């Protein structure tokens, strides 16, 4: 971890995640998109996907996973803001009950400066952009 003054938004998107639903004991999988705005502390980019893996590798629900990632980054780096969006497909939706193979679930959470509409919209627009 390094201490300097930074003002730009750091985004790591399309982080693959695999977890196991604690309700149905069936997998869910998808992608996480994470951003933070440093305030004196930065971290190596590979640490962001590791945070996702730490929390995803336990019995989990997507809502709690989103909050745990947010809290971990916020508490550790103490940035100006943190944003997390997770898009996942749940096998319990695909193979049980309603059997909707093409459905996805999106959860999001925002802390600090990401509660500002302009900052949040910048992040959401950037994670939608797909490079070719």
On whether residue 132 sits in a domain, the answer given is no
Told to judge if 24 belongs to the known catalytic residues of this protein, a careful annotator would answer yes
Instruction: From first to last of the 132 residues of the chain, give the pLDDT tens digit.
Output: 555 556 799 999 999 999 999 988 899 999 999 999 999 889 999 999 999 999 999 999 999 999 999 999 999 999 999 999 999 998 877 776 666 677 899 999 999 999 999 999 999 999 997 654
Active site residue 23: yes
Cα–Cα nearest to 79, from 56, 118, 48:
48
Among candidate residues 16, 22, 63, 128, the one labeled active-site is: 22
Assess contact for 70 and 112: CB atoms under 8 A.
no
Cα pseudo-dihedral 43, 56, 68, 73, rounded to 10: 0
Tell me whether residue 72 is one of the annotated catalytic residues: no
Which residues lie across from 30 on neighbouring strands?
A: 17, 88
Residue 122 counted as domain residue = yes
Phi first, then psi, for residue 42 (nearest 5°) are -125, 165
- What is the extent of the structural domain holding 56? 2-127
Query: How many domains in the chain?
Result: 1
* Distance of alpha carbon 60 from alpha carbon 39, whole angstroms: 30
DSSP character for 113? G
The CATH number of whichever domain residue 12 belongs to comes to 3.30.1130.10
* Residue 9 domain-assigned (yes or no): yes
Can you give the pTM of this predicted structure? Answer: 0.89
Q: Determine, yes or no, domain membership for 111.
A: yes
């Amino acid at each position: 971890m390094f201490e300097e003054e930074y003002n730009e938004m750091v985004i790591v998107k399309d982080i693959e995640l695999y977890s196991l639903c604690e309700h149905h004991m069936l997998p869910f999988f998808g992608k996480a998109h994470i951003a933070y705005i440093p305030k004196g502390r930065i971290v190596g980019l590979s640490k962001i996907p590791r945070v996702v893996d730490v929390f995803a590798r336990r019995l989990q629900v997507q809502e709690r996973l989103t909050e745990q990632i947010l809290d971990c980054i916020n508490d550790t780096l103490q940035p100006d803001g943190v944003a997390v969006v997770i898009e996942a497909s749940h096998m319990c939706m695909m193979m049980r009950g309603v059997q909707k193979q093409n459905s996805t679930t999106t959860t999001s959470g925002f802390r600090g400066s990401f509660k500002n509409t302009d900052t949040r919209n910048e992040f959401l627009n950037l994670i939608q952009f797909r490079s070719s």
